[in-house]
Structure formats: structure tokens, C-alpha cells
Amino acid sequence: MESAEIRRRWLRFFEERGHTVVPSASLIADDPTLLLVPAGMVPFKPYFLGEVKPPFNRATSVQKCVRTPDIEEVGKTTRHGTFFQMCGNFSFGDYFKEGAIKYAWELLTSPQDQGGYGLEADRLWITVYEQDDEAEAIWRDVVGVPAERIQRLGMGPNFWSMGVPGPCGPCSEINYDRGPEFGPEGGPAVNDERYVEIWNLVFMQYERGAGDGKEDFPILGDLPAKNIDTGLGLERLAMILQGVHNMYETDTLRVVIDKATELTGVPYGRSHDTDVSLRVVADHMRTAMMLIGDGVVPGNEGRGYVLRRIMRRAIRNMRMLGAHEAVAAELIDVVLNTMGQQYPELLTDRQRIESVALAEEARFLKTLAAGTNILDAAVTETKATGATVLPGDQAFLLHDTWGFPIDLTLEMAAEQGLSVDEDGFRRLMREQRDRAKADARAKKTGHADLSAYREVADRAGTTDFTGYLSDTNEAT
Ligand code: ATP
Ligand code: MG
Ligand code: MG
Ligand code: MG
């Protein structure tokens, strides 16, 4: 079943059951606490918090999501992308646990010729929050899932809150057993690659007060209205329904891998490392195009830096696969063609998206051309002394003179078996900033001519990138 069909069926199923279909919001969150949308519930947050009265009491969507904290998993696990689509159904004070559980079961297990996804019921494993007897009883007694396929988990995975006082509640997740070739048995509590999580049902049931941290905040009591927030990963379901081993091999991503193969001559399946690179390229190129499509432009902080880092990683992985020319244009083309079927605005906005991406590629190739030799020399020198840590002043020089962000240095050094003295690097950055401040003060009082420092400070000021990873929180 194609991704587009999975999406259509989702929306139709819930629409037929009284849900208003709400189009995906932009990836740029309309929310000061988030850089990018990490979950389907984000556009509905004001309704859940009771700040705004919802115009409907049931809704469904397929929301574009980006989770930058998952970047290190990309290509290595079978199920994490930086961009993915979260299919959701939401109840605002309408149906609750039993309704949500029954809908989920019906949609997943009813036959494909009756509008469902036709998953084998015996392969589905359920997790519930360890104290949620009610959810367990519904799964066992109402739906009929055998008790041995229902597992209880603690707060971490199975209790949801927004990290601020407000609604919270237990979750129940549906996991699919991909079979022994993916690892030993034992259920999702022990093996999350074999028993892959596909759908999270959140039962917003309680109100929490202020406290410190997830584990120990006071639950004040029941919410006046109980809500449902669910999220199913479209790519994960596609992986199962298309019978492939990971989400990068599904219809909308595999074509990008194939294009990368065509451009580099490296076939998929040659080795673990080249496969990881091919998957990173497919994932990151897609994420970058979706971000640019929603108006993000490459930059040195915030969303702009997320985009820059993701694009640069894609380009670097293409080079690791052997491409030495500019290669983005053809990859972009494939991504826009496949994703454009579900997001037609990508096609109407094609020219702008391409020109933003190609300009970034050109800029990065220049940076790489200038800095790679310096980095290689520093690596050789470090290794010659028998050390395994690249000195902080080298990382600082690469940053200050050649525009290498620290994580580029970290990644490129790691590829050659070295770590980097990050503390030393940050100390030099701090010193540079302090000098700049002192200079600014001196300039105001006219005490000294520190124009050389000023210049350095000006340059450093535009390359401050710390804190870019803290843009998402646990949601859904
Ligand atoms: P995991 O434990 O696998 O990292 P999660 O618990 O972080 O997933 P949720 O926050 O519960 O995920 O999000 C709801 C659903 O969204 C998940 O059940 C999964 O199907 C999908 N999903 C979450 N993160 C990703 C990702 N990085 N790539 C693809 N799908 C994802
Ligand atoms: Mg996760
Ligand atoms: Mg999980
Ligand atoms: Mg989850």
C-alpha cells in the first residue's frame, strides 16, 4: 500500500466517524516554546490547554513533523527520520479511552478491502502505563488482546505531559512484531526494533501542578474534560505494509536512495556504512526540502541552523559515497516530485525551493574546499603525536577562519578516529566574546583602539550556534 493511500485511508476512516479533517500545519510552529513541530498535537495545544474553545470536538490530521534530537538515529535504527508524518485523531472532551482504543484496533486490523490496513492481530503488542488498570482491561476484555501481549511500562515511555503545568495522562502504545529476523522475542518492553512502535494513544486525564521534572510533579486531580491525542507514524506503517526492512526503503524515500546510487555508483546493500550514508542522504534531503518549503532559510541559529546542518550532512554523506561535484539538484528534483504528490505547494514553489537549496550547497562546498585541508592537516599532526583528541585551538581556528561549525569538525574528526577538545574550543569562544565585550565598553568610553578585536567579534557574533538542539520536547 502506497504512502498516499495510507494517508487517504486514515483521514477517511476518522472522517466517517465524525472527525473534522484538519490540514497539516506548517513545520514552523506557531508556538514560542518550539522551533519546529515535533508532533501532531501541537496545532491543537490551545484546545487541550483550555485556552481556546475548539470549534469541533473530534479532529483528524496528518501532520508534518521534524525531530532534530533523532538526527543521530537516522539511518542507524530502522525507524527514525528527522522528518516524518504523524497521523492523528483527537477528541476534545468527547470519546475517551475505550473509544480511542477501539478505533485504533478497528483501523489497524480490519481487512484492506474494507478500508482498513489489514494487519495481523497476532502481531500487535500493547503497552500501557503501569498504573493504568483501566486501559489494560479495555485491551484485554473489550478488544480481546491476550494478556501476555499487554505489557506495563513506567512513566518514561508511557506517561505524557507537556513539561509545564497543565493536562497530562497515561499513554498506551501499539507495537508490531516484525518477527525473529529482527531479534529475540519478549515484546516491546525488551526489544524496540523487532516490536516496532507504531501508534501512541495519549489519554489526557489529569491536571498537573508545578513541580520539578517529569517524575515528580503533583497530580492535582482529574481534568474537567478528558481528551484524546494519538499519533501514528505514517512511514512506520508504510514500512510494515510495504514489507521492507526500514522506513528509508518505503516508496517516498527509496526513490531518493536510488537517485543517490545513480549519482555515486554505490549500490544499496553494499556495506553497512554506505547504507547508513544512503539513508542519511534520503532522509536529510527530504527534511531540508520540507523545511525550505515551509519558509525556513539556512542560517546560523535556530531553525535556519537546523536546516543548514541537515543539508550539509546530506551533502557530506554524498561526498563520503564518492560524489565530488554539486549533486543536490537531482536529489532535490526527486524529493519534490514524490513529496509534491501529497504537498502540491512544493511543486508550485519549486523554483524558490531549488534556488535556496542550491545556494546553500554552493556555499557549503566552498567552506569545505577551504577548510578540509586544514582539518586533515590538523588530524595528521594530532595523530603523529599519538594523541586521539584534536586540540581546541584547531577547532577554534577552523570555526573562526574557515566557517566550520563545531559539529562539522566533530563529525569529520570522528570519521578519522579522533575526538575534539570541545571544552577548550568553548573556552576560546568565550574568551573571544569577552574580548569583544571589553572592546565595546572601551569604545564607548574611548579608552583604547581595539578595532582588531572588534572585527573578530563581529565575525564571531554571526556564527554563534549553541543550543540549536533544544527545539523539541517530548510530545505525543
Ligand atoms: P520511538 O520510541 O520509536 O522513538 P516515540 O515514542 O519517540 O518513538 P512518539 O512521541 O510516541 O514516538 O510519537 C508517536 C508516533 O510517531 C510513534 O509511535 C512513531 O510511529 C512516530 N515517530 C516518532 N518519532 C519518529 C521518527 N523520528 N521517525 C518516524 N516516525 C516517528
Ligand atoms: Mg523517540
Ligand atoms: Mg517510544
Ligand atoms: Mg511513543
76 inside domain: yes
- Output b/e per residue, 135-150; b: 16+ Cβ within 10 A: bbebbbeebebeeebb
Between CA 16 and CA 24 the distance in angstroms is 19
The helix (H) or strand (E) run that includes residue 168 is: strand 166-177
pLDDT tens-digit series, residues 155-185: 888 999 877 777 899 999 999 999 999 999 9
Q: Are residues 175 and 260 in the same domain?
A: no
What's the confidence (pLDDT) of residue 441? 81
**Dihedral angle at the C-alpha atoms of 56, 60, 66, 68, nearest 10 degrees?**
80
Q: Are residues 310 and 403 in the same domain?
A: yes
Q: Are residues 232 and 257 in the same domain?
A: no
This prediction's pTM: 0.87
What's the confidence (pLDDT) of residue 213? 54
452 inside domain: no
Q: Which residues form ligand 1's pocket by a CB distance below 6 Å? A: 67, 70, 79-81, 84, 86, 197-200, 231-233, 235-236, 476
Confidence of residue 321 (pLDDT cuts 50, 70, 90): very high
431 inside domain: no
**To test the ligand 1 pocket, which listed residue (73, 129, 162, 200) has its Cβ within 8 A of the most ligand atoms?**
200
434 inside domain: no
Residue 421 grid cell: 577538545
Q: Are residues 358 and 413 in the same domain?
A: yes
256 inside domain: yes
* CA–centroid distance, residue 70 to ligand 2 (Å): 7
Q: Left (φ > 0), alpha (ψ -120 to 50) or beta: where does 96 sit?
A: beta
Q: Are residues 262 and 154 in the same domain?
A: no
476 inside domain: no
pLDDT tens-digit series, residues 225-276: 899 999 999 999 999 999 999 999 999 999 999 999 999 999 999 999 999 9
CATH classification at residue 165: 3.30.930.10
Residue 474 CA: which ligand is closest?
1
Q: Are residues 393 and 254 in the same domain?
A: yes
* CA–centroid distance, residue 200 to ligand 4 (Å): 5
Q: How many helices and strands in the chain, by DSSP H and E?
A: 16, 11
Final residue before a domain boundary, out of 419, 450, 465: 419
Q: For residue 74, which atom of ligand 1 is closest to its CA?
A: 27
Q: Are residues 19 and 95 in the same domain?
A: yes
* CA–centroid distance, residue 153 to ligand 1 (Å): 16
Between CA 193 and CA 178 the distance in angstroms is 8
Q: Are residues 79 and 149 in the same domain?
A: yes
Q: Are residues 27 and 99 in the same domain?
A: yes
Give the total number of structural domains in the chain: 2
Q: Would the pLDDT of 475 be above 60?
A: no
CA-closest candidate to residue 294, choices 36, 468, 88:
36
Residue position matching grid coordinates 556555499:
363
* CA–centroid distance, residue 374 to ligand 4 (Å): 43
Q: Would the pLDDT of 457 be above 80?
A: no
The overall average pLDDT reported for the chain is 90
pLDDT tens-digit series, residues 18-43: 999 999 999 998 888 889 999 999 99
Q: Are residues 214 and 359 in the same domain?
A: no
Residue 39 CA: which ligand is closest?
1
Q: Are residues 297 and 396 in the same domain?
A: yes
pLDDT tens-digit series, residues 51-79: 899 999 999 999 999 999 999 999 999 99
Between CA 154 and CA 171 the distance in angstroms is 10
pLDDT tens-digit series, residues 262-291: 999 999 999 999 999 999 999 999 999 999
Confidence of residue 403 (pLDDT cuts 50, 70, 90): confident
- 150 CB-side CA count, 13 A: 19
CA-closest candidate to residue 187, choices 178, 234, 245:
178
What is the residue with the minimal CA distance to atom 14 of ligand 1? Answer: 231
Please give the residue range of the domain that contains residue 273: 250-419
Q: In this predicted complex, what is the ipTM?
A: 0.99
Backbone angles phi and psi of 213, in degrees to 5? 95, 165
- Residue 46 three-state SS: helix
Residue 468 grid cell: 540549536
Q: Are residues 348 and 260 in the same domain?
A: yes
Residue 450 Cα distances to 396, 444, 445, 463, angstroms: 21, 11, 12, 21
What is the residue with the minimal CA distance to atom 5 of ligand 1? Answer: 197
Confidence of residue 396 (pLDDT cuts 50, 70, 90): very high
What's the confidence (pLDDT) of residue 459? 42
Helices (H), 197-250: 234-241
* CA–centroid distance, residue 157 to ligand 3 (Å): 6
411 inside domain: yes
Report which of residues 252 and 450 the model is more confident about. 252
Residue 193 CA: which ligand is closest?
1
* Sequence-separated (6 or more) residues with CB below 8 Å from residue 382: 388, 389, 390, 391, 394, 418
What is the residue with the minimal CA distance to atom 16 of ligand 1? Answer: 233
41 inside domain: yes
Final residue before a domain boundary, out of 390, 419, 448: 419
What is the residue with the minimal CA distance to atom 3 of ligand 1? Answer: 197
Q: For residue 157, which atom of ligand 1 is closest to its CA?
A: 6
Final residue before a domain boundary, out of 224, 241, 258: 241
Residue 451 grid cell: 578595532
Between CA 251 and CA 182 the distance in angstroms is 21
Q: For residue 86, which atom of ligand 1 is closest to its CA?
A: 16
Residue position matching grid coordinates 542507524:
76
What is the residue with the minimal CA distance to atom 31 of ligand 1? Answer: 233
**Dihedral angle at the C-alpha atoms of 447, 453, 454, 459, nearest 10 degrees?**
-170
* CA–centroid distance, residue 362 to ligand 2 (Å): 33
